Chains A and B, each alone.
Chain A
Amino acid sequence: MSKAETTPPPKATPPPKATPPEKTEPPAPAFEKSYVDQITNQFSDDVEVEYIKENRTRVNVKKEKIAEVAKFIKDNTPFDHAESVTGVDFPEDKEIGVVYHLGSYTDDTYSKQVLALATRVPREENPNPGNDSTKLPSLRDMFYSVEFHEREVFEMLGVYFESHPDNRRLLLPEDWADLPPLRKDFRNKGR
């Protein structure tokens, strides 16, 4: 264990762009590839397959198309609920990523599969949650289960979900007046 763990995450080394080039990987599993292909065939330009691993796939979508893609997934594939919504801050790219993990209860063959639907929104240096460009369409109409997750992402990273009817604080105290805490420029004390 080095001292590195105690220092704040260094900014000097910018990580590669959001989608690292695919290395020499084993060929993608067929079943997973089939439903990802369904999506890519429909939205050829707007989606980008990041990886297809066993049981786990990830598709990056442009933020304008996210609602459309979600609607397509909801209607045409057995994915019926969202398990988790992760918001990730990428200060180097000036972007915030939002990853929806979709799963399926109804179809037994899909019960192992988790489809990660990822998108990115612009990030502002001085965030004003709700009133700046960090906005996304809400997926609540397609996947009702994202309701609280999206509220959490809103307060933790400042991503405003348009058409979400209940964009309030969830976990943070009502008088929180600092940065959204999961952004990288919000520092833990002493770290």
Chain B
Amino acid sequence: MTEQVIPTKQMPPGLQVENIDDRIMTLNVGPQHPGSGHMRIIVKIDGDYIVDADPDPGYVHRGEEKMAESRNYITNIPHLERPVIHDSCNILYPYVLGVEDLVGIEVPERAKYVRVITAELNRCIYIQYWLAIYGIFLGHSTMFMWPAGDRELLIDLMEKITGARVTHAYFIPGGVRNDVPANFEDVCLRQVNYFEKRIKEYADIFYDNPILKARTEDTGVLSKEDAIRLGTTGSVLRASGVDYDIRVKEPYDVYDELDVHTNVLKAGDSYARSKIPWLDMLESCNIIRQALEKMPKSGSIRTKLKPNPKGGDDEVYRRVESGRGAAGCHIISKSKPEPYRLKLSVGSFRNLIALPYLLKGEKLGNMPAVYWSLNYWPVEADR
């Protein structure tokens, strides 16, 4: 393997990569492995220590960027949410914002609030799914079932709004596709309140569990400087003590009218990285309540587009805070109905770079804890 520019972490004594060829064992963890997701990590271990880790994504690469070049701005919508169907509103958000910039239309106020609410609901849905897998990766089967079950509350809510359980295809340039159903505010408030009560119960059994703490604290520590240099984003960055949340720093839609609190932890270990999304969920419940309060009770939810919208000869780069960190969308338009080039710069792909760095020198038993604490979604990274 190659040299790292970043000085590698101190290996335990007696571990040098060069001289132990006959002692190291190469493990192909994935792509079909209960602890890898749809990705392969080529791990070299010496005893119980990982001496080298090489992530090999691409198992579920679908060429979404290439596909987007031959579809117009509207028919791209169901495709571009495919990388993260659990977070489909948030992955569509930068694209929709970018197309609105290109085409130059205004979004009605009520649609902006509906977007924020659905995006926050979707963030919770994604994080619950992520948390469920984090639980099962650590061998905590209850933490697999509880989030997967409680997620159903919000999926139910999203189904009432958008008509689909996961692949909503709800955002559209110019607003959202349909209005929320009648007495939506009450139902939403009731379910979100119960959801918040439920996720607070995770603390006793999971986050304050001494075995979990002993297991994940001080493993895979990413310092603040390294987190910045590696360009990580989202929960990984905030767990390392960097106060950076695009919802606060570069508010889009109506986030500047809402009181959004950024959760930051200083430790930078697996435990902090796994706790930040949970705190984010609590914050999301807060945001949803605020947005429900401030949302205009009636009004238009969609500015009609022309049938075949064209962008100018322009480019745009918009970014939002998705469940996994910043999701950026770079659209280059050439006055055609289709984008000339569309690039998704997603949180998973940006956080993946920290994986080989973090795994080096860890124990094999820590691999799932470190890997999944990166808030990584293999399908999104592959696009």
Consider the complex of A and B and state whether they touch directly, i.e. have CB atoms less than 8 Å apart. yes
Contact with A along B371-383 (1 / 0, CB 8 A): 0000000000011
How many residues of chain A are within 8 Å of chain B by beta carbon? 50
- A116's nearest neighbour on chain B, judged by CB, is B317
Chain A binding surface, main DSSP class: loop
Tell me which residues across on chain A come within 8 A of B232, comparing CB atoms.
Answer: 145
Choose among A101, A144, A172, A188 the residue with the greatest number of B CB atoms under 10 Å from its CB. A144
Contact with B along A7-42 (1 / 0, CB 8 A): 011000001100010000000000000000000000
Determine if B341 and A88 form an interchain contact, defined as CB atoms under 8 angstroms apart.
yes
Judged by a CB distance under 8 angstroms, whether B319 is at the interface is: yes
Q: Given the interface contacts A81-B228, A83-B231, A171-B382, does A144 sit within 8 Å of B5 by beta carbon? A: yes
Check: B70 CB closer than 8 A to any chain A CB. yes
B2 at the binding interface (Cβ < 8 Å): yes
CB-based contact B313/A86 at 8 Å: no
The interface stretch among A61-69, A106-114, A119-127, A129-137 is A106-114
Contact with A along B319-356 (1 / 0, CB 8 A): 10000001010101010111011010100011011000
Cα separation A15 to B341 with both chains bound (whole Å): 14
Q: Assuming A20-B313, A145-B353, is B330 touching A84 (CB within 8 A)?
A: yes
Answer yes or no: A140 CB below 8 A from chain B CBs.
Answer: yes
A170 interface neighbour in B58, B250, B345, Cβ under 8 Å:
B58
Does B229 contact A80, Cβ atoms closer than 8 Å?
A: yes
Does any Cβ of A come within 8 Å of B72's Cβ?
yes
Residues of A close to B334: CB separation below 8 A? 15
B237–A105 CB distance below 8 A: yes
Tell whether, in the assembled complex, residue B328 and residue A83 are in contact, meaning their CB atoms are under 8 Å apart.
yes
Q: Which residues of B contact A2 (CB under 8 A)?
A: 308, 337
> Counting CB contacts under 8 A, is A159 at the interface?
no
Does A105 lie within 8 Å of B61, measured CB to CB? no
Task: Tell me if B250 and A112 are in contact (CB < 8 A).
Answer: yes
> A5-B338, A105-B242, A173-B58 are contacts. A141–B330 as well, Cβ < 8 Å?
no
Q: Which residue of B lies closest to A188 (CB)?
A: B70
A147 within 8 A of B: yes
Task: Pick from B2, B72, B341, B350: contact of A5, CB below 8 A.
Answer: B72
Task: Please determine whether B317 and A9 come into contact, CB atoms closer than 8 angstroms.
Answer: no
Q: Are B345 and A88 in contact (CB under 8 A)?
A: no
Contact A144 B230 (CB under 8 A): yes
Chain A residues near B340 (CB-CB < 8 A): 9, 88
Asked, given contacts A88-B340, A147-B353, A170-B58, whether A8 binds B70 with beta carbons under 8 Å apart, the answer is yes
Closest to B336 in A: A9
- Closest B residue by C-beta to A153: B343
Contacts of A58 in B (CB 8 A): 315
- A83 close to B345 (CB less than 8 A): yes
Pair B231/A5 contact, Cβ less than 8 Å: no
- Contacts A4-B337, A86-B343, A88-B332 given; indicate if A114 touches B317 (C-beta within 8 A): yes
Q: How far is the CB of B37 from chain A (nearest CB, A)?
A: 15
The verdict on A148 contacting B353 (CB below 8 Å), with A81-B231, A182-B66 known, is yes
A188, B67: Cβ atoms under 8 Å? yes
* A94 within 8 Å of B (CB atoms): no
* Smallest CB gap from B344: residue in A: A84
Whether A111 pairs with B244 at a CB distance below 8 angstroms is: yes
Asked whether, in the complex, the Cβ of B250 is within 8 Å of the Cβ of A106, the reply is: no
Q: Which of A111, A116, A145, A182 contacts B229 (CB 8 A)?
A: A145
B182 at the interface (CB under 8 A from A): no
| Chain B residues positioned under 8 Å from A86 (CB to CB) | 330, 332, 341, 343, 345
Nearest 4 interchain pairs by C-beta: A145-B231, A84-B345, A81-B231, A171-B58
28 A–B contacts, CB within 8 A, in A order:
A1-B308, A5-B338, A9-B70, A58-B315, A80-B229, A83-B233, A83-B326, A83-B328, A83-B350, A84-B330, A84-B345, A86-B332, A88-B340, A88-B341, A101-B330, A105-B237, A106-B228, A111-B249, A116-B317, A141-B5, A144-B230, A145-B232, A146-B231, A148-B352, A170-B57, A172-B61, A181-B66, A182-B65
Starting from the known contacts A4-B308, A105-B237, A112-B249, 20 additional A-B residue pairs (CB-CB under 8 Å) come to A5-B75, A20-B313, A80-B228, A81-B229, A82-B231, A83-B233, A83-B319, A84-B317, A84-B345, A86-B341, A101-B317, A101-B345, A108-B249, A145-B229, A145-B350, A145-B353, A147-B353, A166-B2, A181-B66, A188-B63
